[in-house]
Chain A
Amino acid sequence: MATQTTAARSAALEAPSGNGETRFKWQRFFVFIGYGLLIFFAFLEIAPFVMTVASSFKCEPAISTYPAAFIPIPPLVECQNTSAEGVNSRLSADAQVNGATFSPTTNGYNRILGEGAELPRWALNTMIYSVVVTIMRLLFDSMAGYALARFRFPGNRVLFFIVLGTLMIPGVVLLIPRFLMLKEMGLLNTYWGYFLVLGADAFGILLMKQFFENIPKEIEEAASVDGSSRFTTFFRIVLPMATPALVALTIFSFQGQWNNFMDALIIVGTNTALYNLPMGLTILRGSGQDLQFDLILAGSVITTLPMAVIFFIFQRYFVEGVSYSGIKG
């Protein structure tokens, strides 16, 4: 059977027009075009990041004058120099850049990380928000998902549709009422406000429910025969089996909170001490037209770096997570 299929396949590959050579040439042409297109699009997706990282090590005038110089050649330079007479001189763009190479500076980073800078605080906040919310979701989403998947109680179906329905509510609609409610509850501009609002989500619950439904029931039934309670069964037996789903949920949740802007804007929007990195970046941007690109780009790099490291280490899980949720829809 297998041989037959292979034979048919190779026949089909070579037969059609009866001219194997033409077909071969066409195939090489397509391969060439295919690679060309992929490289072109990969360049479009990656080049902006390369330029951003490179330019974050330039002095202000060189960033806008020579954005394309991307190879840093030490030694480090200072952007501002105070001469013996006490006169400030700014390093000119031409002095820093030479064709595609430039002499790097850490000026932008020094300014946002140095004394009195708020960025370290924002980074810490982002870490706290992301970790706590992720832990809460792992716990609450999996418990809720398990309840929907395995327990028979009145209203189970209704609750499932309620959870599903909340997926339809656009975040923007919640902007005003959440602000008002948190204000009334005294939770506006608090860590607790952030944790409580985001501590569970419908997507995670449905992801976990789907996963639990595919685990054979027999294992839990055996455990319940052994006399262990449902809580023990869940935490000791079911949850460890759900590792792939928990990994996907961790990634989605951590990434979502690390980059979360709109919720932070509403929940902690008027207290800069509670800002996360995306909110902090808006301060670095300022409100005027006079943009300080050295700060903006250095801040962007610092915000992205931890996610990038996590992505490169756990890449497989990111891609699997997306495919998983995509296929299941």
Chain B
Amino acid sequence: MTTTTAAASSRQQAVDQPNAKRQEAVAGLAFILPALLILVVFLIVPLFVAAYFSFTDWNGRTPLTSAAPFEYIGFQNYQRLLIDGRRVDDFYNAFKNTFYYAMGVIPTQTVLALFLAVIVNQRWLKGRGFFRTAFYFPSITSSIVVSMIFLFMFSNTGPVNGAFKAIFPNYQSVSWLTDNNGILHNLLAIFGVNSANVPFLTDTEIFRISLWEWLSGPSVAMFTIMILATWTTIGTLMVVYLAALQNIPGQVYEAAQVDGATAWQTFRRITLPLLRPTTFFVVTLGLIGTFQVFDQIYILQSAVTHRTTMSIAYLVYDQAFQTDPNMGRASAVALTLFILIFVATILQRRFVGGDRPADQ
């Protein structure tokens, strides 16, 4: 409707002043040009450059000016990376870690953020500003600083182990940052289940990773990084939820009260559906953030936990600049990650139910 009117008026203008339209176009392009140049040269072109190199075997060291710095090898990088390479487990190990990381962090931070926002939004609450500031503060802190703080807090003799020891005298210190055991593996061990009991799981390998390894969950070291991510992000997401909650008109709740709805029914049937667009936004942010986890791993990984804290994003860096660099292979990892994030975003749109509020 609006488009039609706009089109009509622009046609009208064009008839009235043939030059005005061209002038407007020139001015418009001039306004957008600086930003567009930056986006094209440093965002869009690089995407294609990455895609291009992912089909080559360039090692990154042979100068691009030399006679034949690389060969075009088609989908070989992808095939070796994802299907039958000698080190196909590199990718699937990173995938497994990233998957557990995302599946642990996203639901926890979303639910906690909503939970805290609902409490902070209560009418009886005093000191709302204080709580909002306290929760939000970690969000303004550099990811590197937060990682340094965790390095300190979770070190073997650090405050976290100290606090547990003070509360539970029998507590055995956990090496939060260097323990490679999966947390599900540890949990099962409490019930006497370990890899020796289930030879089937340890003997079967999928992509060179044993089923037991697939199922043993994120390592304790990775789990610590998951705590870090949740701890940092809750505040931002809480503020987002709080703003959405404050946007729900009071009459909606009054109507529910008149109908005799309990607090839980009101939350379940009214608040939650109305918050659906916000939840979609929060989960999307979570997906994009967790699938790209890099900074925290850069600081908190060590030679000991190199494998169990390896995320896909860090694998890109690792393959490009660290052990046995290969730009072609690293670019293939990067592109695969791009596609993964894309697919995950679409899947969650289905799962959360789109970005529009539900009807009821």
Contacts and interface: CB of A to CB of B under 8 A. Distances in A.
A322 B241 CA distance: 10
Interface residues of A, number: 102
A259 interface: yes
Interface string A45-86: 110110110010000000111011000000000000000000
Interface centre among A175, A281, A329 (most CB of B within 10 A): A175
A98 B61 CA distance: 56
Contact of B239 (A45, A166, A326): A326
Contact of A172 (B45, B158, B247, B337): B337
A109 interface: no
Contacts of A173: 46-47, 50, 316, 334-335, 337-338
Contact of B46 (A162, A181, A303): A181
Nearest to A179: B320
A16 interface: yes
Nearest to B257: A12
A210 interface: no
B31 A144 contact: yes
A50 B264 CA distance: 37
Interface string B13-57: 000000001001111110110111011011111110110010000
Contact of A151 (B27, B47, B316): B27
A152 B11 CA distance: 11
Given A151-B31, A327-B244, A12 B260 contact: yes
B102 to A, nearest CB: 13
A176 B320 contact: yes
Contact of B34 (A31, A143, A277): A143
Given A166-B43, A318-B140, A319-B136, A140 B34 contact: yes
Interface in B227-254: 231, 234-236, 239-240, 242-244, 247, 254
A174 interface: yes
B10 A172 contact: no
Contacts of B312: 172
Interface residues of B, number: 103
B152 interface: yes
B67 interface: no
A313 interface: no
A296 B242 CA distance: 35
23 contacts: A34-B124, A41-B234, A48-B149, A48-B159, A67-B157, A146-B31, A152-B6, A152-B21, A153-B26, A170-B337, A172-B317, A173-B46, A176-B334, A177-B50, A181-B45, A259-B145, A289-B302, A296-B151, A303-B142, A303-B144, A307-B141, A311-B137, A326-B244
Given A159-B32, A297-B148, A322-B239, 9 more contacts: A42-B131, A52-B152, A144-B35, A170-B341, A202-B43, A259-B145, A296-B152, A319-B239, A323-B242
Interface of A: 5, 8-9, 12-13, 16, 31, 34-35, 37-38, 41-42, 44-46, 48-49, 51-52, 55, 63-65, 67-68, 139-141, 143-144, 146-148, 150-154, 156, 159, 162-163, 166, 168-181, 184, 196-197, 199-202, 205, 230-231, 234, 255, 258-259, 261-262, 265, 277-278, 281-282, 285, 289, 291, 293, 296-297, 299-300, 303-304, 307-308, 311-312, 315, 318-319, 322-324, 326-327, 329
Q: 5 tightest CB-CB pairs across the interface, nearest first? A: A151-B28, A323-B243, A153-B25, A177-B46, A326-B240
Interface of B: 6, 10, 21, 24-29, 31-32, 34-36, 38-39, 41-47, 49-50, 53, 64, 112, 116, 119-120, 122, 124-125, 130-138, 140-145, 148-153, 155, 157-159, 162-163, 231, 234-236, 239-240, 242-244, 247, 254, 257-258, 260, 277-278, 280-281, 288, 291-292, 294-295, 298-299, 302, 312-313, 316-317, 320, 327, 330-331, 334-335, 337-338, 341-342, 345, 355
